[in-house]
Structure 1
Amino acid sequence: MQELTAYIAEFVGTTLLLLFGCGVNANTSLKGTYGKSSGWIVISFGWAMAVFIGVFVAAPASGAHLNPAVTLALTITGKFDPALIPGYIIAQLLGGILGATLAWMHYRPHYRAEEDQATILGTFATGPAIKDTPSNFMSEFLGTFAFLIAVLYLTAPNFGTPEGKLGSLDALPVALVVLAVGLSLGGTTGYAINPARDLGPRIAHAILPIPGKGSSNWSYAWIPIVAPLGGAALAAFVWMTLQ
């Protein structure tokens, strides 16, 4: 029963993360919104607050990973039971799909009004500002490494376990790290730093009936999946070396 509760918490937390995250993307990008063209600062703060809300809600039951890269890093460092990995990742992915879908529902008239396919996709999934596969991969790898190494130091010792009891003061540093990554490192690829954050909404984009939406850019999709996992693994090994 405790495991089921943890899975549900991961699902709900990731749903909230993507509702607010894709929501700020839509608000700053789509035609006719009051937030149109309000810029990168708003996007970065919106994603940071999305992480804060998701972590705050999910933490008491699941430890609030909300991210397969976090799950991987905590498993490597011995802070998480490997037997729970499949359930956590499935919950995170499904939450990513639902959160992006809810954001689309909220902004549906604006999606109908928007004609630019790249803008529509950008409200769901990440993509490179300048296409350069090695550099794009390194951006996601380094961004996730920086995020995870900071999280491993900033969070409470029992973060990442189903017994973890995080409060607002524990969730806030994680949100601030995401804000720092967005402001300093996010301008190259949109800083997915989370496979579920990118893949879940990309699936939603592919299946939702959005007029004129165009391609979901699956040729790029492997980068925000593989690179964050690699960056998380390196962060875990570095953190263990420094203990």
Structure 2
Amino acid sequence: MVHVPQSEWSVRASVGSGFAARTPFVDEIEATGLGALRPLHGLHAERAVTASLDAKCADHGWDVNASVFTSEIRDPLEGQSAPGQKLELVNAPGPRRAPGAEALIRYVTGPLQLIASWSYLDVTEGITPGARQCAPLVPRHGELAGIIENEKRGRIGLELGYTGRQALTEDPYRSISEPYFGLNALGEIRFRGLSIFLNAINLTNVRQTPFEPLIRPTPGPGGNPITDVWAPLAGRTFNLGIRAEM
């Protein structure tokens, strides 16, 4: 359903539901491979219900989008430790719920473009009937701010992002991750049908390994030798290239 109260505003509400057939490709299996998976049996299909309310305003160079939403997945699949360093797929004892909100703001004036975004996501999952915990590897808060100047001869831009704390359920060193900032930059020069560009990624040099070892002291679920990845593994990265327009 879409409602347009004024020419520069639009509001949309939506509700949906669906189901997904059982599949072995959950996060735990992607980390260890199918060789660690025991045969599937007794699984129910996952069923989801979602709802969202979105608003958008565009006026005089401004483009503002805001959204609130929620979702619930019933009988979500998860990997569970089994004897012999194996994994067994089971339906979780409670639903996975994910209410949240996000906003995206963009402002354009001449060759300059400013972008900012904010997100909040509170994902929880059932561990026993009546008991819940934060879902792992899902940042509750995330923010981003960027600026790009796009001229005829080239462009230059900066992007600063923030990733909030994440719950960790299978990490032997900690139960909550560290928040971190990431800074990226880009530059491009155009002349005579050629473009020379340089991308600089993770200029803040944030890496997970200074916070904790990547290798577990003992194998994890399914024989996984490493911890969950919650921060970049590579430090500063630079990409230089040439693009030709034919």
Q: Give the alignment's TM-score, normalised by structure 1.
A: 0.21
Choose between structure 1 and 2: higher strand proportion: 2
If asked which structure has higher relative contact order (CA below 8 Å, sep 6+), I would say 1
Q: Give the alignment's TM-score, normalised by structure 2.
A: 0.21
